[in-house]
Amino acid sequence: MQRYFIHEPIKDDQSFRIKGEDFHHLSRVMRMKAGDHFYAVFSDRQNQTALAVLDEISSDCARATVVKWIRDEKELPIQVTVASGLPKGDKLELIIQKGTELGASSFLPFMAERSIVKWDEKKMHKKVVRWEKIAKEAAEQSQRTVIPEIYEPVSIEKLCEMADRYTWKLFAYEEAAKEGEHRQFYETLKNVKQKDTLLIAFGPEGGFSQEEASLLSEKGFIPCGLGPRILRTETAPLYALSAISYHFELMR
Amino acid sequence: MQRYFIHEPIKDDQSFRIKGEDFHHLSRVMRMKAGDHFYAVFSDRQNQTALAVLDEISSDCARATVVKWIRDEKELPIQVTVASGLPKGDKLELIIQKGTELGASSFLPFMAERSIVKWDEKKMHKKVVRWEKIAKEAAEQSQRTVIPEIYEPVSIEKLCEMADRYTWKLFAYEEAAKEGEHRQFYETLKNVKQKDTLLIAFGPEGGFSQEEASLLSEKGFIPCGLGPRILRTETAPLYALSAISYHFELMR
């Protein structure tokens, strides 16, 4: 059954409207009619999804009523932010699409020393809008109850500043992995508690420079290895998110 | 430093030749000369990599000598075969590229009931050659010591037959996940021993049909859920491989 993320307020816990793109999708693409059912997800109701019925369709919006609330635990028990050093081409799109399926709660791109792509202020807004669209579609497809937030790209200094509000800060460091470091990631996850926030930073192609690694360590980020094989910049976040899901959702 | 997988025999544990595409890459692309060093990986020497020096370049081959053998544990301690129901477009390429980085030892595509792509015998060989090339490049890039094997696509009946030689057989089943199944994958990994072989089957877009799920269960495959979110057909194998690496390489 179709799922929509509803941004309109809900009245008396039961009636709401659908406007904009979702209205277009519902009326034109799905050709739904009064009486048809769908799932509605509200941003302020994590872990709950509404089975809803369509009451009325007008020219620019639809009205619907909640039939029943369903308990729907689709979210990781911890909040994970993926901070990616801006990679080449459309790799960040892959990270956002797959990372959303795998449960990330936000994505924070940053300009790393070895980022080839130079960030263009003018193109920024357009890119972020596209990334938000990818996250929304992946959230719907994977049946999540939250759409991950996409931040505008920041400098590594700003990243360090923003990281202060997280319970845990990690960075994937190839040099650590080469020296056989393999315990930090697991040791950290063992200490993470439900509802903790975790930020994990990944370098772009070529990884973090030594200066960046020193800066991150200084700011309290723990360097960790993600196994003995060298993972591409877009594969490492998917590894980390899968491992986090395995640890908290399958091993429990 | 450049890495090559050497298919020529090695003499007296120290001298070998490089021919074909790798020779072309070494002499034309990298413009290496006598005296230059590189890493050489031999298919019969798992967990060992040779630091080698180039002795001589002729018109169609190069001769090189091993300077020293380096212990190089890059392979997962268990052998994992990813069996994918043939997906649409070039998704299998993504599965093979990322799956190789994540340590899979072979890929076995099969024709599933819901596979949209119909398998064309004539195009088969060309596709397999392409997949092999992707696996080789990803193995080099991730610094593995083994290139994963790619099987030609088979029927699901043949898959069941081939699965008999594996220590463990699993299949990712969305219906199991929906019913809250989340222990089987972890319970299985807890019982897997070093050098065991594990086959894990994934459905195409739309998943396994009920008949296929019944057949797989009958043949001894264990149905398992991979968490509460619905993963795309190309994401599920990456999740499973990451979790396997986390379990055996980081949690140890």
The CA angle B141-B45-B95, to the nearest 5 degrees, is: 35
Which of B182, B229, B238 is the closest to A250 by Cβ? Answer: B182
pLDDT band for position A120 (cuts 50, 70, 90): confident
Give chain B's length: 252
Q: Which residues of B touch A225 (CB under 8 A)?
A: 250
Number of cross-chain residue pairs from A and B with Cβ atoms under 8 Å apart: 114
Chain A: residues touching B (Cβ < 8 Å):
73-74, 98, 101-103, 141-144, 182-183, 185-186, 225-232, 235, 238-239, 242-243, 245-247, 249-252
**Contact by Cβ (8 Å): A132, B223:** no
Chain B positions in Cβ-Cβ contact with residue A239 (cut-off 8 Å): 102, 238, 242, 245-246
* Cross-chain residue pair B242–A238, CB shorter than 8 Å: yes
A102 and B182 in contact by Cβ < 8 A? no
Residues of B with a Cβ under 8 Å from any A Cβ are 73-74, 98, 101-103, 141-144, 182-183, 185-186, 225-232, 235, 238-239, 242-243, 245-247, 249-252
Q: Give me the mean pLDDT over the A170-182 stretch.
A: 88
SS3 B49: strand
Rg (alpha carbons) of chain B, rounded to whole number: 20
Nearest C-alpha in B relative to A206: B141
Asked if ipTM goes beyond 0.95, one says no
> DSSP letter at B248?
I
Chain A residues lying within 8 Å of B232, measured CB to CB: 98, 101, 141-142
Out of A102, A143, A243, closest to residue B246 by CB: A243
pLDDT at A146: 92
Per-residue pLDDT of chain B (252 residues; tens, 9 = 90+): 888 999 888 888 789 999 998 999 999 999 999 999 999 998 778 778 999 999 999 999 999 999 999 988 899 999 999 999 999 999 999 999 999 999 999 999 999 999 988 778 788 889 999 999 999 999 999 999 999 999 999 999 999 999 999 999 999 998 888 888 889 999 999 999 999 999 999 999 999 999 999 999 999 999 999 999 999 999 999 999 999 999 999 998
- Locate tokens 């999708």: which residue? A25
Rounded to an integer, what distance in angstroms lies between the CA atom of residue A30 and that of residue A2?
A: 9
pLDDT > 90 in chain A, percent: 81
Q: Is A242–B242 a contact, with Cβ atoms under 8 angstroms apart?
A: yes
pLDDT at B125: 87
Distance CA B16, CA B36 (A): 15
The count of C-alpha atoms lying within 13 angstroms of the C-alpha of A48, restricted to the half-sphere facing its C-beta, is: 11
Q: What local confidence, expressed as pLDDT, does residue B180 receive? A: 80
CA–CA gap between residue B217 and residue B215 (Å, rounded): 5
The pLDDT value given to residue B25: 92
Structural domains of chain B, with CATH = 3-71 (2.40.240.20), 79-250 (3.40.1280.10)
Instruction: Give the burial string for A42-79 (b: 16+ CB within 10 Å, else e).
Output: beebeeebbebebeebeeebbebebeeeeebebbbbbb
Q: Which residue has the higher pLDDT, A72 or B82?
A: B82
Q: Which of B41, B71, B187, B242 should we substitute to test contact with A (largest number of A Cβ atoms within 10 Å)?
A: B242
Mutate to test the interface with B, among A226, A245, A247 (most CBs of B within 10 A): A245
Give yes or no for residue A46 having a pLDDT over 80: no
Q: Considering chain B, what is the average pLDDT of its residues?
A: 93
Please answer yes or no on whether B142 and A229 come within 8 Å at the CB atom.
Answer: yes
Quote the percentage of chain B above a pLDDT of 70: 100
For residue A73, the chain B residues in CB contact (below 8 A) are 228
Q: What is the Cα–Cα distance from A229 to B99, expressed in whole angstroms?
A: 11
pLDDT of residue B118: 78
Nearest C-alpha of chain B: how many angstroms from A223? 14
Q: Tell me, what's the pLDDT at B181? A: 85
Whether A250 and B185 lie within 8 Å, measured CB to CB: yes
Alpha carbon distance B123, B113 (integer Å): 20
The whole-angstrom distance between B194's CA and the closest CA on chain A is 16
Q: What is the pLDDT of residue B13?
A: 79
Q: Report percent pLDDT > 70 for chain A.
A: 100
Q: What is the pLDDT of residue B201?
A: 98
* Contact: B226, A182; criterion CB under 8 Å: no
Q: Whole-number mean pLDDT of chain A?
A: 93
pLDDT of residue A3: 87
- Structure confidence at residue B9 (pLDDT): 83
Subunit contact B229:A98, Cβ cutoff 8 A: no
Mean pLDDT confidence for A148-176: 96
Q: Is the pLDDT of residue A111 over 90?
A: yes
User: Higher model confidence: residue A42 or residue B149?
Assistant: B149
